[in-house]
Structure 1
């Protein structure tokens, strides 16, 4: 059990000391200058009944986000092949559902997962809430990971979402873990939360059993038409603190620098990599919001001397006292 006080003390350390500690731990568990490239495909867009205040895919808000039904299998395979050709080793598929539907659409999701696995890529999906029996079927199809973010602290969560509870999210995470699927679970900063909310989110994540194998750290991308459209862009130093604290309290986890990179300079992203981030999402879009794109990321990797994972690394087994 990692205490809330420990997380708070870590988060509030002087930045240089915090990043140094995080980098030291990072090097014991991960390749120092290697970053996993992932691609996130929007396989079903819009018309979601949820009221998440940050999301342009909610049916409750008038945004310019595209709306379309579940894509054909052939189109998803083409996207996955292109992602692999651009260096991605994980292909993530997102569908704007409140919960994973049964029936024909579930069958199509299974076929997509199997196709990605056949390409020798990690297969990840984010499909809303899932039941234990559904999670078992996803596992049988070879699913690597299921993404289901907590978004923020339990206390601040009702200010952002009212159509499902924090407990609903934790139940889905538990169902996924019980099925033997890797848990991908993180949050969003810049929605009006406090440092205390960020610390409580990290504390909750660190005490999930087992700890999430993947933690995406997202910065809010304000979208016209959503309730958070006028929210100020979060200070990138907040992202650095989030990444570094996550690295220290979850040493083995892949920390993914996710949404919001378009507002960050190369130097600011470099600080996040120094703090322990070792994955990014590539491509022109993250679901519906802008992303730097493959050419910009290639230039950044060249400037920073970073390399992309060519395969999944075998990590050292030593354990750190946390």
Structure 2
């Protein structure tokens, strides 16, 4: 069985990333089969519970208030609408619902109280619940954990060295502190990055080093291909090459062998053949449903047809156990 390490060097990761492509895919696929039911892919659905108007300046993001991107700003969705979306996603095969709010940070106010209620309501559908709400304190993470939050997403986006080129309104250390707060609350960590931002290969390797050298590997690492949006500073970036995605996924699989590697944004630009190479290289999760917050995504029906063709099957919820606040009611009543 492959050893789980938290002491990878940039040189070691670079050597893996730059291997001949077929050798790289073969090694990643071998490790994937050792550690996972490789035909099992988690389907997650993403819903924007509060859209646009964000004070941050993330250069890729259509929800930043300072860019004119045509995104309609809307406040918090009603809980009933979120539950209905979760039910639809579950019927489509999703076992996890991720709720995103365009905030810089969580504030202890009525909107956060509403998020807590949403987390509890979606839990009752027997789905894993994930949130991505910006920066989070220890006490806020505890509240989410008590409500039954399964995962918290907070991406690093790029390397520490490249970070200031992409975002100036918060620091890399603040991102890492949020991940630490999430971990202390015993919520699973979902953290990855975006390629195609104009970064160098060295930046990709540095980001993977940071993720793989955390005290505990993230349970989930999303690998996103930039979806350029008109009005953002990165609107004119070239489409990410599929081989770059495959290299990132394969390298993540090798250095974080037990982590769920998510083939995330950018799938609409990929053929089924290209996506199948990503699954071969170790991806074992996707986001499904027509939208990823504000950008297009393949539909559930398209994905189910692809799963059938490739012999893949959806992963069940809570495969690795339930968090403290997500115990089923009949269990809690005993």
Task: Give the C-alpha shift of residue 305 in structure 1.
Answer: 1.7
- After TM superposition, list the pairs within 5 Å mapping 1:127-276 onto structure 2: 127-276=133-282
Q: Is 2:312 the counterpart of 1:306?
A: yes
Provide the secondary structure at the position in 2 that maps to 1:173.
helix
CA contact (8 A) 2:128 2:318 kept: no
Q: How many residues align?
A: 315
Residue 167 of structure 1, CA deviation: 0.6
Partner of residue 110 from structure 2, selected from 104, 114, 128: 104
Per-residue deviation, 1:312? 4.4
Say which SS state the counterpart of residue 158 (structure 1) adopts.
helix
Tell me if structure 2 keeps the 8 A contact 1:87–1:310. Answer: no
Q: Distance in 1 between matches of 2:48 and 2:60?
A: 17
User: Partners of 2:23 and 2:90 in 1: how far apart?
Assistant: 37
How far has the Cα of 1:66 moved from its partner?
2.1
Deviation at residue 161 of structure 1 after TM alignment = 0.4
TM-score between the two structures when normalised by the length of structure 2: 0.93
Runs of 4+ in 1 over 2 A off after TM superposition: 310-315
Distance in structure 2 (CA, Å) of the matches to 1:178 and 1:3: 26
Task: Map Cα deviations across residues 7-42 of structure 1 (whole Å, 9 max, x no partner).
Answer: 111111111111111111111111121111100000
TM-score normalised according to structure 1 size: 0.96
**Paired residue secondary structure (2:208):** helix
Native 8 Å contact 1:222 1:231 kept in 2: yes
Structure 1 unaligned regions, length at least 5: 316-322
Give unmatched runs, 5+ long, in structure 2: 1-6, 322-334
For residue 311 of structure 1, report the CA deviation from its aligned partner.
4.1
State whether residues 128 and 317 of structure 2, in contact with CA within 8 Å, keep that contact through their aligned partners in structure 1. no
1:81 corresponds to? 87
**SS at 1:255 equivalent:** strand
Match of 1:34 in 2: 40
Flag the 1:312–1:21 CA change in 2: closer, same or farther, 3 A.
Answer: farther
Question: Residues 180-219 of structure 1, C-alpha deviation per residue, up to 9 Å, x if partnerless?
Answer: 1100000000010011100001010001121100000000
Higher mean alpha-carbon deviation, 67-76 vs 295-304, is at: 295-304
One of 27, 47, 53 as aligned partner of 1:47: 53
